[in-house]
Amino acid sequence: MTSPSGSWLRRLSPRDDAGMRIICFPHGGAGASSFNGWFRHLPNEIELVRVQLPGREDNNERPAFTRIEDLIPELFDQVHPLLDRPLAIYGHSMGALVAFELTRALRRNNGPLPVALLVSGRRAPHKPLRRVLLHVLSEADLVAHLRKMGGTSADLLVRPKWLERYLPTMRADLQLSDIYHYRDEPLLTCPIHAFLGEEDNEMHREDWEAWSEQAGGEFSRTLLPGGHVFSQSTQAILVSLITKVLTDRRAAA
C-alpha cells in the first residue's frame, strides 16, 4: 500500500500504466477503507486513489476538519501530484461536498478540470439545509440518528470505547457539512453525474436533483437500490456505472 509519510492518498501501488485515475472521498465519519471493495470492480486502466482525510483510520494524528475553507487548500496540495493524467473525482454524502469544492479549487488555480465529477447521497451544494444541525445533537440522539441512517454496525454503536474514538470525527464531519456556506461561481463545464439511493431519506429528492443546476455541460442522474449508505452490492452497481462513464470519456478523447 503506497502512502508516503504525510500523504492522505491511499493507493495499492503507483500505476504508471493506468490511463486515468479516480480519487474518492467517503461519507461523514468514514475512511479510505470504505472503498476497499472497489479494487475488484475497476478495470486496470483506471487507478483507484482513496483519500484518508485527517481524524480517521491511519491518519489520526490530527483532528478532522470542521470547515471546508480550511480543508480545501491542504487537500489541493495533496491532490496536485495526481494531475499528470486525466482525473475523475467521486464523493459520497459529505464526500460529495468535498469533491465539488475540490473541483472548483482546481478551476480557480488554473488546473485541469476532472474528466467527470461524480457525486452521490447529497443535496446540491447551493440548496439550503432542511434538517436540524446534527453535529450539536446529544450523544444519545446522534447515535439514534446513525442507527436509523444505517451503514454502521449496531454492535459498534453500543460500545462506549468505540464511540469515544468515532463520534468526535463524525461530529467534525457533520459540522463541516452543516455549516457549509455556498458561494456563487460559474457553472462547472466538466460532466457531472449524480447518484442516489432510491430509499435515501436523508434529503429531499428535489434538492438532489438540483445538481443539474451546477452543470454547464453534460449531466446525468441515476437512482440506485438501497438507502443513504450504499451496500456492497449497490457499490458494485455504482462502480460499473462509473466505469462506463469513464471508459466512454476515454474513447471520446
Low-confidence ranges of the chain (pLDDT < 70): 1-5, 13-16, 151, 253
pLDDT digits (tens, 9 = 90+) for 56-81: 999 999 999 999 999 999 999 999 99
Coil vs helix vs strand at 49: strand
| CATH class for the domain made up of 9-252 | alpha beta
Q: Please list the active-site residues.
A: 93
% pLDDT > 70, the chain: 95
- pTM of this prediction? 0.94
Could you tell me the maximum CA-CA distance found in the chain, to the nearest angstrom?
52
Question: What cell does 71 get?
Answer: 480543508
Please name the residues in contact with 28: beta carbons below 8 A apart, sequence gap of 6 or more.
93, 94, 170, 173, 174, 177
Angle at 226 between CA 68 and CA 102, to 5 degrees: 20
Domain boundaries, the chain: 9-252
Buried-state track 73-103, b at ≥16 Cβ within 10 A, e below 16: eebbebbeebeeebbbbbbbbbbbbbbbbbb
